[in-house]
């Protein structure tokens, strides 16, 4: 899992155009790969409370209900 995750603008546009169910499948695969590598005790979900992190938390919890979610107040969130 180490390395450069930068992608080209072309690949980004391609991925943005994919259907939602494909994007969700890719997300589930990425989550599984992290858990396969680090185990359920070695993976935590960082949650900001925004819509993107709430969707991610829903997906993660649908696969691994026991993974802990962590929120850190950085004082930079909108009040």
Tracing tokens 């409370």 back to the chain, one arrives at 49
Domain coordinates of the chain in residue numbers?
Answer: 9-70
Measure the CA–CA gap between 49 and 32, rounded to whole angstroms.
22
Taking only the tens place, the pLDDT of each residue in 3-34 is 667 889 999 999 999 999 999 999 999 999 99
- pTM of this prediction? 0.78
> Is residue 59 within a helix (H) or strand (E), and if so which, with residue range?
helix 51-63
> Is residue 69 within a helix (H) or strand (E), and if so which, with residue range?
strand 69-70
- Determine the pLDDT at residue 2: 58
């Amino acid at each position: 899992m180490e390395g450069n995750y930068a992608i080209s603008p072309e690949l980004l546009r391609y991925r943005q155009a994919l259907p939602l169910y494909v994007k969700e499948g890719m997300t589930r695969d990425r989550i599984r790969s992290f858990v396969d590598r680090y185990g359920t005790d070695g993976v935590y979900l960082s949650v900001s409370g925004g819509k993107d992190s709430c969707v991610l938390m829903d997906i993660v919890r649908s696969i691994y209900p026991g993974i802990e979610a962590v929120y850190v107040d950085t004082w930079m969130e909108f009040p």
